[in-house]
């Protein structure tokens, strides 16, 4: 963009870069040009012809109106967007587009916010001269999220280009010719992509609309409330569209630094869970094994009364890393004041040996900078499932030539060039050691042994070289994901990650799994960290210790132990053995009722004010948009009242902002760093020779209660059932086929399931998802299992 030129649009002198399209310059200058097919994030198609303008260059007029989206600017260019010739061309195009468009605006979901309506009013004629028959197009079945009415389609191909260029799967196309042309998959396969919902926003007409909110409201009845997406650590900016106290739909807000103008389906459609019948609407108390709806006063007094009789040390406090900063801060303040240091929010981690040297597990750089990386090594992450939008940033980097390498217990599905090293968890460390060895790293202790034994192949060398080159220009990253965090040898993964980073010059970052995984450090909701990311005076028990050494009483906040804890069987055992279990939750279930003694109904994300800290460490505050159902109350209010019931000082906050401000003062100038405060010196856990290692990734639509209760998301192909994926060689060795029933034994836990032959699974592992129905019958996400045929 060095050589700037000056062009003239509608008599106004505009600065432009040579080669830019006219429409991009006009958009920057605020000069309106109508368009349907043009989108700044997509390639130029120039097939709607709506942006025709009159132009001349160096005094020579272009013979015909030119499309502003596909005409690059040059010196001496003059453009008229509103001349008689331009207006005539625009009006004619509009007339053509409307020939086959049905006049069904009154029953169309897009009505009132339709680009076609707006542009027709602004640039079209007022009478149609077309009296012949209009064409009718059979609708496509694009799955549970996207409703189609293909007769309305004007063939702008934005959806086709989005799926090809951004999603990278090329599932949609324009088949047929002329008036037989239609947009679709041709073979009715539907679209299975985690970003598919964006084509609803892109569609300028009502051909693609949101199925879950179909026919629920008209655009002008909705009020928009700004909020922050609650399911991953991107913290995408969203807008909740509300009618009569109910969230009707969710749209993205554009922020180039965070989510650009995209939104993952998980964030877009999870609002459905807000109105689930499983919502908890009353405080409930179990007396002699029978549940009673009670008032808040009774419930909270009971909680305070029982907790006052239990010494702080005998308490266990587990908080969801999805809770707001305010809730996390108040909960830990409350229980620390009560003398209980056993507070944790890392629910899907089993190896806590690195606590003493850990830094805040954040991305290590601004989200948008991921695109500028030239080599990235991802350790233990099913990228697209865990981090849809971060995966999109990495895809952009890959398409610009970056080397993306992944070390995973199974082959992950990506839509860009990549190097994958797939092996069972124990061998993954060997793979990493090979990369470290290729870089000339030595390490210490057990890591040094691993590296000494490693034999780097050409593939390891290629990745090592790319990391080295990227490290030299400060554009290399090592990223640790949720599958690494769930591993019993997480510390070893971290040690190797930091070693590779050191010898290659790359930075280390983490892919935080939940919306507030970074925030828990600021809030101090950890056994070894207190508010403001300060070391705790008394280090309490971590999640694993709290469950393996059962406490007398537990306080659980914002999650379901059967689905959100790494080892549901151990959790159930500990909770069943406890005298008193209090669960603050937005949803109830028979499993919760079985283990709890008190259930406190708390507000879900659209119903409370709060703050989330995203992967890049950005604090984002949001307000509640709708009232929680029944007696449910925002979590921070519940904790404030509970604080007063406990006679804690200073629990007189008037608003969530008071809590936020107090915490912010506590945090002061908390700088996020990436270098650990010491050496990880792991003893690699080597269990007895094991038959198979279970790999329990959490499917994309099972990450939290809200998503699990969003019906439409559960009907998509990405919501996978409980099954056991086996590599063909493993299956052959055991004489198993797809469809066979097997009995899985993990520790004391036993569960029967169906075998699926899957070439993406590593030899020596069995892939059984976590976080979904039936997975609660098993143990830790990653751990030894044995099985037998039923």
Partner 1 sequence: MSFRTAPPAQLYTGDKQALFTAELRTAIENEIAKYPAERKQSAVMASLTLVQDANGGCLTIALMDQVAAYLDMPPIAVYEVASFYGMYDLEPVGRHKVCVCNSISCLLNGSDELLTHIEHKYGVAAGGTTSDGKVTFKEFECLGACKDAPVVLIDKTYHERLTPAALDQLIDELD
Q: Which residues bind partner 1 (CB under 8 A)?
A: 42-45, 47, 157, 160-161, 164-166, 168, 170-177, 185-187, 396, 399, 415-417
The residue (of 111 and 168) whose beta carbon lies closer to partner 1 is 168
Q: To the nearest whole angstrom, how small is the minimum distance from the Cβ of residue 616 to partner 1?
A: 24
The residue (of 12 and 400) whose beta carbon lies closer to partner 1 is 400
The residue (of 400 and 743) whose beta carbon lies closer to partner 1 is 400
Buried b (16+ CB within 10 A) or exposed e, 82-116: eeeebbebbeebbbebbebbbeebeebbbeeebbb
Q: To the nearest whole angstrom, how small is the minimum distance from the Cβ of residue 156 to partner 1?
A: 11
Which residues is 53 bridged to in the sheet? Answer: 66
Helices 445-453 and 425-438 sit at what angle, rounded to 10 degrees? 80
The residue (of 182 and 494) whose beta carbon lies closer to partner 1 is 182
Q: To the nearest whole angstrom, how small is the minimum distance from the Cβ of residue 14 to partner 1?
A: 24
Q: To the nearest whole angstrom, how small is the minimum distance from the Cβ of residue 176 to partner 1?
A: 5
The residue (of 168 and 445) whose beta carbon lies closer to partner 1 is 168
Q: Cα-flanking dihedrals φ and ψ of residue 347, to 5°?
A: -80, -20
Q: To the nearest whole angstrom, how small is the minimum distance from the Cβ of residue 161 to partner 1?
A: 7
The residue (of 44 and 690) whose beta carbon lies closer to partner 1 is 44
297 three-class SS = helix
Neighbours of 335 (CB within 10 A): 27
Q: List C-alpha distances in Å: 149 to 102, 197, 694, 717.
A: 10, 15, 44, 22
Q: To the nearest whole angstrom, how small is the minimum distance from the Cβ of residue 51 to partner 1?
A: 16
The residue (of 44 and 298) whose beta carbon lies closer to partner 1 is 44
The residue (of 333 and 396) whose beta carbon lies closer to partner 1 is 396
The residue (of 161 and 268) whose beta carbon lies closer to partner 1 is 161
Closest CA to 617 of 531, 517, 526: 517
Neighbours of 637 (CB within 10 A): 20
432 three-class SS = helix
Q: To the nearest whole angstrom, how small is the minimum distance from the Cβ of residue 759 to partner 1?
A: 10
Phi-psi region of 178 (alpha: psi -120 to 50; beta: other; left: phi over 0): left
7 three-class SS = strand
Buried b (16+ CB within 10 A) or exposed e, 133-159: eeeebeebebbbbbbbbebbbbbbbbb
Closest CA to 93 of 57, 68, 61: 68
Q: To the nearest whole angstrom, how small is the minimum distance from the Cβ of residue 170 to partner 1?
A: 4
Q: To the nearest whole angstrom, how small is the minimum distance from the Cβ of residue 666 to partner 1?
A: 44
Strands 77-80 and 4-9 come out as parallel
The residue (of 161 and 333) whose beta carbon lies closer to partner 1 is 161
The residue (of 261 and 745) whose beta carbon lies closer to partner 1 is 261
The residue (of 164 and 422) whose beta carbon lies closer to partner 1 is 164
Q: To the nearest whole angstrom, how small is the minimum distance from the Cβ of residue 173 to partner 1?
A: 4
DSSP-derived letter for residue 260 is B
Q: To the nearest whole angstrom, how small is the minimum distance from the Cβ of residue 350 to partner 1?
A: 35
Closest CA to 56 of 71, 76, 85: 76
CA dist., res. 636 & res. 551, Å (int) = 25
Q: With contact defined as beta carbons under 8 Å apart, do 429 and 496 qualify?
A: yes
Q: To the nearest whole angstrom, how small is the minimum distance from the Cβ of residue 179 to partner 1?
A: 13
Neighbours of 544 (CB within 10 A): 20
Q: To the nearest whole angstrom, how small is the minimum distance from the Cβ of residue 164 to partner 1?
A: 4
**Does the CA dihedral 26-29-32-34 come out positive or negative?**
positive
Q: To the nearest whole angstrom, how small is the minimum distance from the Cβ of residue 43 to partner 1?
A: 3
Q: With contact defined as beta carbons under 8 Å apart, do 609 and 226 qualify?
A: no
Closest CA to 609 of 645, 580, 636: 636
Which residues is 226 bridged to in the sheet? Answer: 239
| List of residues 6+ apart from 639 with CB closer than 8 A | 327, 330, 331, 334
The residue (of 199 and 491) whose beta carbon lies closer to partner 1 is 199
The residue (of 44 and 87) whose beta carbon lies closer to partner 1 is 44
CA dist., res. 425 & res. 767, Å (int) = 12
Q: With contact defined as beta carbons under 8 Å apart, do 77 and 55 qualify?
A: yes
CA dist., res. 481 & res. 81, Å (int) = 50
Can you read off the two tokens belonging to residue 396?
Answer: 């952009």
CA dist., res. 353 & res. 683, Å (int) = 9
Closest CA to 790 of 744, 727, 724, 759: 744
The residue (of 116 and 183) whose beta carbon lies closer to partner 1 is 183
Q: To the nearest whole angstrom, how small is the minimum distance from the Cβ of residue 165 to partner 1?
A: 5
Q: With contact defined as beta carbons under 8 Å apart, do 598 and 286 qualify?
A: yes
Closest CA to 567 of 548, 590, 595, 540: 548
The residue (of 125 and 417) whose beta carbon lies closer to partner 1 is 417
Closest CA to 265 of 438, 437, 145, 109: 145
Residue 88's H or E segment, with its range, is helix 84-99
Q: With contact defined as beta carbons under 8 Å apart, do 375 and 403 qualify?
A: yes
Q: To the nearest whole angstrom, how small is the minimum distance from the Cβ of residue 202 to partner 1?
A: 14
């Amino acid at each position: 963009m060095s050589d700037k030129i000056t062009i003239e649009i509608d008599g106004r002198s505009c600065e432009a870069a040579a080669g830019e399209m006219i429409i991009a310059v006009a958009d920057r200058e605020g000069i309106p040009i109508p368009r349907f097919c043009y989108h700044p994030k997509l390639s130029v198609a120039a097939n709607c012809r709506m942006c025709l303008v009159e132009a001349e260059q160096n005094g020579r007029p272009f013979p015909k109106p030119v499309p502003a989206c596909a005409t690059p600017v040059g010196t001496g260019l003059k453009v008229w967007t509103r001349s008689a010739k331009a207006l005539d061309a625009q009006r004619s195009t509009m007339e053509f587009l409307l020939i086959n468009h049905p006049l069904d605006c009154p029953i169309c979901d897009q009505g009132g916010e339709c680009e076609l309506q707006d542009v027709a009013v602004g640039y079209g004629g007022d009478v149609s001269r077309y009296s012949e028959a209009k064409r009718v197009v059979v609708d496509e079945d694009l799955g549970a999220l996207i409703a189609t009415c293909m007769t309305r389609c004007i063939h702008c191909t934005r959806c086709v280009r989005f799926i090809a260029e951004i999603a990278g799967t090329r599932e949609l196309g324009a088949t047929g010719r002329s008036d037989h042309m239609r947009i679709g998959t041709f073979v009715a396969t539907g679209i299975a992509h985690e970003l598919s919902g964006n084509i609803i926003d892109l569609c300028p007409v009502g051909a693609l609309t949101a199925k879950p909110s179909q026919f629920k409201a008209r655009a002008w009845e909705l009020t928009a409330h700004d909020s922050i997406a609650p399911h991953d650590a991107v913290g995408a900016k969203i807008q909740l569209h509300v009618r009569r106290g109910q969230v009707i739909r969710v749209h993205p807000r554009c922020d180039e630094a965070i989510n650009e103008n995209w939104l993952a389906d998980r964030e877009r459609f999870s609002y459905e869970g807000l109105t689930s019948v499983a919502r908890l609407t009353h405080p409930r108390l179990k007396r002699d094994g029978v549940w009673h709806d009670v008032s808040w006063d009774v419930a909270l007094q009971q909680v305070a009364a029982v907790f006052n009789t239990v010494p702080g040390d005998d308490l266990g406090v587990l908080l969801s890393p999805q809770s707001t900063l305010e809730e996390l801060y108040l909960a830990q303040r409350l229980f620390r004041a009560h003398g209980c240091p056993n507070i944790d929010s890392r629910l899907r981690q089993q190896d806590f040996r690195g606590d003493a040297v850990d830094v805040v597990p954040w991305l290590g750089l601004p989200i948008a900078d991921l695109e500028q990386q030239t080599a990235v090594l991802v350790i233990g992450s099913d990228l697209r499932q865990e981090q849809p939008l971060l995966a999109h940033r990495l895809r952009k980097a890959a398409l610009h030539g970056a080397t993306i390498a992944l070390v995973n217990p199974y082959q992950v599905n990506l839509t860009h060039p990549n190097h994958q090293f797939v092996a069972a968890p124990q061998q993954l460390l060997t793979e990493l050691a090979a990369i470290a060895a290729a870089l000339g790293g030595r390490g210490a202790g057990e890591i040094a042994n691993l590296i000494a034994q490693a034999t780097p192949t050409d593939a390891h060398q290629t990745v090592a070289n790319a990391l080295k080159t990227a490290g030299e220009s400060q554009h290399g990253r090592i990223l640790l994901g949720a599958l690494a965090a769930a591993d019993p040898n997480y510390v070893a993964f971290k040690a190797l990650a930091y070693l590779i980073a050191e010898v290659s010059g790359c930075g280390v970052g983490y892919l935080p799994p939940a919306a507030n995984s970074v925030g828990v450090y600021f809030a101090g909701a950890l056994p070894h960290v207190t508010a403001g990311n300060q070391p705790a005076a008394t280090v309490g028990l971590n999640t694993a210790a709290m469950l393996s050494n059962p406490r007398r009483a537990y306080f659980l906040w914002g999650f379901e132990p059967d689905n959100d804890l790494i080892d549901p069987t151990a959790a159930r055992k500990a909770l069943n053995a406890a005298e008193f279990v209090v669960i603050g939750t937005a949803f109830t279930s028979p499993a919760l009722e079985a283990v709890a003694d008190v259930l406190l109904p708390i507000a879900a994300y659209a119903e409370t004010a709060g703050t989330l800290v995203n992967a890049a460490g950005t604090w984002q505050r949001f307000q509640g948009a709708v009232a929680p159902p029944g007696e449910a109350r925002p979590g921070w209010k519940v904790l404030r009242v509970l604080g007063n019931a406990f006679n804690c000082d200073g629990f007189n906050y008037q608003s969530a902002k008071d809590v936020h401000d107090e915490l912010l003062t506590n945090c002061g100038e908390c700088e996020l760093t990436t270098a650990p405060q010491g050496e990880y010196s792991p003893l690699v856990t080597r269990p007895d020779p094991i038959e198979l290692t279970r790999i329990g990734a959490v499917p994309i639509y099972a990450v939290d209660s809200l998503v699990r209760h969003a019906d439409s998301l559960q009907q998509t192909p990405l919501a996978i059932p409980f099954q056991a994926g086996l590599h063909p060689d493993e299956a052959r060795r055991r004489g198993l086929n797809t469809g066979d029933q097997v009995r899985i034994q993990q520790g004391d836990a036993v569960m029967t399931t169906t075998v699926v032959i899957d070439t993406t699974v590593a030899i020596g592992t069995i892939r059984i998802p976590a976080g979904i129905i039936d997975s609660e019958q098993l143990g830790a996400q990653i751990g030894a299992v044995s099985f037998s045929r039923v």
